[in-house]
Amino acid sequence: MSATGMNRREFIKKTAATGLVLAGTATLAGCGLGSGGESIKWSEEADIVIIGSGFAGLAAALEATEAGAKVKIIEKMPTPGGNSIINGGDMAAAGSKMQAEMGIEDSPELMLEDMLKAGLYLNHPEKVKLVAERSVEALEWVMNYVGTKFVTVNYHGGHSVPRTHQAETGSGGDIVRPMLDKLKEKGIEVETNRKMVRLIQNEEGRVIGVEVLDKYKFGQEDSGTPVFIKAKKAVILAAGGFSQDLQMRMIHDPKLTDKLDSTNHLGATGEVLRAAMKIGAMDVQLDWIQLGPWASPDEKGFGYVPHFCERLVGYAPMINPKTGKRFINETGNRKVRADAILEIGEPVIHVADEYAARKQVIPSSFEGGLRNGSIKQFDTLEQVAEHYNIPLQPFLEEIQRWNSIVEKGQDDDFGCMIFPDAKPMTTGPFYAARLWPKVHHCMGGLVTNTQCQVINQDFEPIKGLYAAGEITGGVHGAVRLGGCAVTDCIVNGRIAGQEAAKEEAWS
Amino acid sequence: MSATGMNRREFIKKTAATGLVLAGTATLAGCGLGSGGESIKWSEEADIVIIGSGFAGLAAALEATEAGAKVKIIEKMPTPGGNSIINGGDMAAAGSKMQAEMGIEDSPELMLEDMLKAGLYLNHPEKVKLVAERSVEALEWVMNYVGTKFVTVNYHGGHSVPRTHQAETGSGGDIVRPMLDKLKEKGIEVETNRKMVRLIQNEEGRVIGVEVLDKYKFGQEDSGTPVFIKAKKAVILAAGGFSQDLQMRMIHDPKLTDKLDSTNHLGATGEVLRAAMKIGAMDVQLDWIQLGPWASPDEKGFGYVPHFCERLVGYAPMINPKTGKRFINETGNRKVRADAILEIGEPVIHVADEYAARKQVIPSSFEGGLRNGSIKQFDTLEQVAEHYNIPLQPFLEEIQRWNSIVEKGQDDDFGCMIFPDAKPMTTGPFYAARLWPKVHHCMGGLVTNTQCQVINQDFEPIKGLYAAGEITGGVHGAVRLGGCAVTDCIVNGRIAGQEAAKEEAWS
């Protein structure tokens, strides 16, 4: 190989640097078709190896275990749960008993329509249909099988009706933790500090296992020891999105520089998604990366303000501090709102009175925001204007106008949905938070069929490879609606687990 | 392999079906890293193998040949030229002598700004900058080296100024044909009816050649005989976009069903792009697929109307036949216009008087449209309204309004750019054409660096693999402006040829 100017040692160094480690006695088949003479020294095995321990991975693990498969769950971070455990615990389902009890008329057809409309019809029709149709079944599985308690039905922008079922403490942990407990009962613990670096295929292209760095420490990319885990039936990829993967997200959307914070946990990077593409998996719509419009520049990461402000929409107005006026439908979808805020070029102000602020079902986010200073309390609207440097007269007039809109129950200015129990804002105290978008969710990802098999560049399933949750694309199209991530993960995680368990073992 | 239920014969059959042919004596390395024992029986060789014979491929071939490399150009269709030869022959360049002579002030900075704005800032900054900066150099190369004659500078929607230099007969053939002649002088003929089905890598991942189906007949997917062509220096992918690849385009944008025609030649399918992704090339923004807003439902393919109507913008209005009114900035970018037409849900009417219609520099498109019936002639505006079922009174009022806009030289209704020599429409004959969008251009494609090396999923160049033109992504972002495809292809095709020629041969 002297012609290429790279000797064997340099080659090994180079491939190691790219995550393609040629380790010890294991000579690896390349992606696609190897020549057949290779052997891997497996040190562990399972029927199904699941990468990632959020909603989708855990749902897959539970279903696969119920079907009698031996499962391993691999998690690169020191603790399980991924983004799911810091998620807002809102699960969209259309036509639930809880909605009916609250007098909310809804249907899977309406949810499908909402998801397609927000998704700019880029959604893969059969995938989004499945999520809408099975949303209630998934909710009931989380309630009855997992044991999560849901306390009310919330509204998120872009939905036609209140549809997101809020878990008890308003956290995805309310779903993740009992899932982990259930798995523990079955003798399965998430294997943390283990990072998948490569999918291994046999000469036919069937996925037969993974290479993992054992005792990996997140952020220390030279840490960990290579271990080869045989997956007798399948590998399920449930490793989430890449909102924290600066290099990757800036290729797909160069606007998303390091100037933008992310709501995601630090482990939300794209190496597992890219490992699948290295073996020829097809990706779709990776450039649709959602900004959360309800995030605060006055706290790090997800924080408290998103919960607080998402409960205010339909009850309280968002104000452009340059003009003192409203500027967007507060109940519009995330993209509409985030784009409008970015267009203004500085954080906007969500302002509410005590009544609207107390619409919070979960007081912790309100209190947490007050505590860390991202939500502020004021006695008068004049003080609000002074603090945020809002021109006073236009602002006071706009609040008057908002109050008349609330009284009429209809917003002819921006088409905001006004909830029936909304009230005019008249007396203090008032509460306000600044909003500036943060990178929140990757709509795009691997192409999968309705069995959650990963599709290759020949439009065919890659044998032995499944994926579910944020690592996949197609369900949400251009824009994901609030509460639909949990539903996507539970519906497709369960399917992936069930279908993978049906695979015939290859050895 | 009995465990997978697939024996050797089935395996070969299956891989053959997916284009991964195990042919005769050639045992092939898989994608990525093979185990090293494989050998390929090469039957042909060149320094550089170029896939595709449009602007980018031919520019690459000319530059590589000038640099002393031995070149092969592979083309699956029976004739060379791809989409380029049926392209409109408009080449965007900012700050040219011809613009200066016509009194048009322009600069690469302004072109960059226009391309970024239309691209919704999804463009890869360094790639789009390069195209804008080298646009005049590329134009001069086409004029002076290739020998194409440009006759005027046109305007296309979304540009700030007239910037597209029109080739003599208003066809990309004016550029392609002399390029083919020049190559012929150097002893190089495009090898038609040869379809690339696979990129071949060595054990280090370096691209070392291609598998080609010789005597392939387009549309007969079982035709052709496998031939292995060694590429001693590099393979350059210049195979264009996938506007005619129904399965592929519907994965990336499910709205683009078979109900939409395409302006592209039938060979604009995505198998070469996908072959690159099979060996781990990174793709970007494949879901941004452009619809041409100026296409006619009354003729097949590209047709005559696009040329005719793109010369009318800024001189004549587009009318919604349901209302009789204008509905969009006629000089807006392609996406803005196509979306607006689709929103109306039926073809709209571009209507012009004799003066505007004669703004055509190339009369052939006007005459061709009249001949095939896609452009119609009327004595009066009343006849126009009757023919297209437009409500008469609103339509006549709107033409009056348009005339006053033209007189004022400013459009406060939609912001259309009114050209200084535009005149009010008063007397017949009038000409009109129906417009309904057709799938026109794929903005997304392979990720490449400024040397046109193809980037892999580890963000590193794939050794020995280059790409240029519509098969790449990043230059145009969300929306390509008219005339910028030729510039992209010439600038990057030349770079790819120059850079590939510098590679050290691997054998």
Query: Using CB atoms within 10 A of its CB, is residue B399 exposed (0-12), middle (13-18) or buried (19+)?
Result: buried
CB B304 within 8 A of CB B434: no
Minimal C-alpha gap between A416 and chain B (Å): 22
Which residues of chain A does B507 touch, with a Cβ-Cβ cutoff of 8 Å?
A: 3
At residue A39, the pLDDT reads 78
Does B163 qualify as catalytic in the annotation? Answer: no
Q: Collapsing DSSP states into helix, strand and coil, what is residue A472? A: strand
pLDDT digits (tens, 9 = 90+) for B204-250: 999 999 999 999 999 999 999 999 999 999 999 999 999 999 999 99
Is there a contact between A306 and A292 (Cβ–Cβ < 8 Å)?
A: yes
Question: What's the confidence (pLDDT) of residue B414?
Answer: 96
CB contact A218 to B (< 8 Å): no
Q: Are A183 and A65 in contact (CB under 8 A)?
A: yes
Domains, chain B, ordered by start:
29-292+440-507 (3.50.50.60), 294-436 (3.90.700.10)
Instruction: Enumerate residues 453 to 472 of chain A having a beta carbon within 8 A of any beta carbon in chain B.
Output: 456-460, 463
A32 chain-B contacts, CB cut-off 8 A: 20, 30-32, 278-279
Q: In sequence order, what are the beta bridge partners of A212?
A: A196, A227
Prediction pTM value: 0.90
Contacts of B428 (CB under 8 A, 6+ apart): B353, B354, B378, B379, B380, B381
Instruction: Report, as ranges of residue numbers, the positions in chain A whose pLDDT lies below 70.
Output: 1-38, 361
Q: Which of A204, A442, A504 to mutate to test the interface with B (most CBs of B within 10 A)?
A: A204
More confident residue, A16 or B397: B397
- Assess contact for B114 and B160: CB atoms under 8 A: yes
**Which residue's structure tokens are 């913008």?**
B313
Mean pLDDT of chain A: 91
**pLDDT of B3 above 50:** no
Interface contacts A/B by beta carbons within 8 Å: 148
pLDDT tens-digit readout, B411-443: 999 999 999 999 999 999 999 999 999 999 999
Q: What is the pLDDT confidence band of residue B38, given thresholds at 50, 70 and 90? A: low
> How far apart, in whole angstroms, are the C-alpha atoms of residue A262 and residue A428?
33
Mutation target for B interface from A128, A199, A259, A457: give the one with most B CBs within 10 A: A457
C-beta atoms of A251 and B124 within 8 A: yes
Task: Flag whether residue B37 sits within 8 Å of chain A, measured between CB atoms.
Answer: yes
The helix/strand/coil state of A109 is helix
**Chain B interface mutation, best of A6, A127, A285, highest count of B Cβ atoms under 10 Å:** A285
What strand order describes the sheet that includes B90-92? B90-92, B164-167, B150-154
Please state, in angstroms and rounded to a whole number, the distance separating the CA atoms of residues B120 and B506: 41
Residue from the list A1, A279, A458 with its beta carbon closest to the beta carbon of B19: A458
Is A124–B254 a contact, with Cβ atoms under 8 angstroms apart? yes
Predicted confidence (pLDDT) per residue in B314-327, tens digit: 999 999 999 999 99
Give the CA dihedral B365, B371, B372, B373, nearest 10 degrees: 100
Number of H helices, E strands in chain A: 16, 18
The torsion angle over the Cα atoms of residues A360, A363, A366 and A370, rounded to 10 degrees, is 150
Instruction: Inspect the interface and report whether the beta carbons of B254 and A125 lie closer than 8 Å.
Output: yes
B35 touches chain A (CB under 8 A): yes
pLDDT of residue B16: 35
Q: Say what the pLDDT of residue B361 is.
A: 66
Across the range B268-286, mean pLDDT stands at: 98
Banded model confidence at residue B9, pLDDT cuts 50, 70, 90:
very low
Cα–Cα dist B134/A348, whole Å: 41
Min distance B234 CA to chain A CA atoms (Å): 12
Going by their DSSP bridges, the two strands B225-237 and A207-214 should be labelled as unpaired
Given the residues A334, A337, A480, A494, the one annotated as active site: A334
The whole-number pLDDT of residue B12 equals 35
Partner-chain contact A459 B247, CB within 8 Å: yes
Q: Which residues of A354-387 are buried (b: 16+ CB within 10 A; e: fewer)?
A: ebbbebbebeebbebbbeeebbbebeebebbbee
Q: Between B4, B34, B504, which is nearest A30 by CB?
A: B34
